Amino acid sequence: MWLYLATLVGLYYLLRWYRERQVVSHLRDKYVFITGCDSGFGNLLARQLDLRGLRVLAACLTEKGAEQLRGQTSDRLETVILDVTKTDSIAAATKWVKEHTGDKGLWGLVNNAGISLPTAPNEWLTKQDFVKVLDVNLLGVIEVTLYLLPLVRKARGRVVNVSSVLGRINLYGGGYGISKYGVQAFSDSLRRELSHSGVKVAIIEPGYFKTPVTDPELIFRSFQETWNRASPEVKEIYGEKYFASSMKMIGSLEKCTQDLSLVTECMEHALTARHPRTRYSAGWDAKLLYIPMSYMPTVLSDAVIHWIAPRPAKSV
């Protein structure tokens, strides 16, 4: 019995390996639009796809970021300035993409732009703190997708949305985890709606990687600012020890995985494979810790988080 089961499992993985090695044809004729290309995953993916020969349309937030990217890539790569929180900017970028793609349509849309700050216990934050993150990480993803989806449909292409392991199991307060849960839900509904149109939707779920989004110095500064403006009652509940322990945990982010290609290779596969996966997890922490925790009974996952997380000075 066990031999038959092992054989079936082996055949399944062999078949999956074979299917996932099949590559889409005529990649050099395909256009891919990527948001958030100033740095991090988006920047590396743009350079990676440019080397692969695809026609990359890279959206950057700043002209400085766009100029630096153009200096590192071939003449095929084109850049545009895009603020995903502004409808006018998205509309202008959409018009620009239409002019470049013509009748071919847009093969790939990669919603990569994102921010993580401010991050702190929810009681330390204001509504505007949540809105700031949700505007970029969730509403920006939705609006960019809605504007560009007709072009993706024309090419029967791909939508690749960057979520996070925190879109499965959230570990701390603020808008980041909420936004990534939202990206998961939006991607799931979009995938089902487009399943008969030839458009495929993939979700990327990175663990912790060292990027500008997880820069410990910026997180330190943001955490300090939210603590400073917290009410005296909240500070008394949490205490200086909680603050110091949290800052120590933030410092441990310096040890995050630095090999961003683990993420961009997942993105590239989602764009170039004939049979892309629905979800891609990147990083051993995602595969061995966070995603398994998300399948645990809530009482167990909560116990693990309570064990490793700082505790407020007062419980009542």
Encode the chain (316 residues) as per-residue pLDDT tens digits: 677 677 777 777 777 776 777 788 889 999 999 999 999 999 999 999 999 999 999 999 999 999 999 999 999 999 999 999 999 999 999 999 999 999 999 999 999 999 999 988 999 999 999 999 999 999 999 999 999 999 999 999 999 999 999 999 998 889 999 999 999 999 999 999 999 999 999 999 999 888 888 777 888 888 889 988 888 888 888 888 888 888 777 767 667 778 999 999 999 999 999 999 999 999 998 999 899 999 999 999 989 888 888 888 766 5
Buried b (16+ CB within 10 A) or exposed e, 37-51: bbbbbbbbbbbbbbe
- Interval 4-28: pLDDT, tens: 677 777 777 777 776 777 788 889 9
The CATH superfamily holding the domain 27-213+257-297 is NAD(P)-binding Rossmann-like Domain (3.40.50.720)
For residue 316, what pLDDT is reported?
54
Residue 247, pLDDT score: 78
Task: Report pLDDT for 214.
Answer: 78
Give the pLDDT score at 46.
97
3-state secondary structure 50-71: HHHCCEEEEEECCHHHHHHHHH
Report the distance separating Cα 312 and Cα 229, nearest Å. Answer: 17
Radius of gyration of the chain (CA): 21
Per-domain boundaries in the chain:
27-213+257-297
Residue type, 249: M
Of the candidates 31, 176, 181, 242, the residue annotated as catalytic is: 176
Q: Which structure tokens are listed for 235?
A: 């500070």
Instruction: List 161's β-bridge partners, or say none.
Output: 111, 203
Measure the CA–CA gap between 236 and 116, rounded to whole angstroms. 26
pLDDT value for 213: 80
Nearest to 37 by CA among 49, 25, 21: 49
What is the structure's pLDDT at 152? Answer: 98
Q: Is 176 in the active site?
A: yes
pLDDT reported for residue 253: 67
CA 98, CA 123: separation in Å to the nearest integer? 44
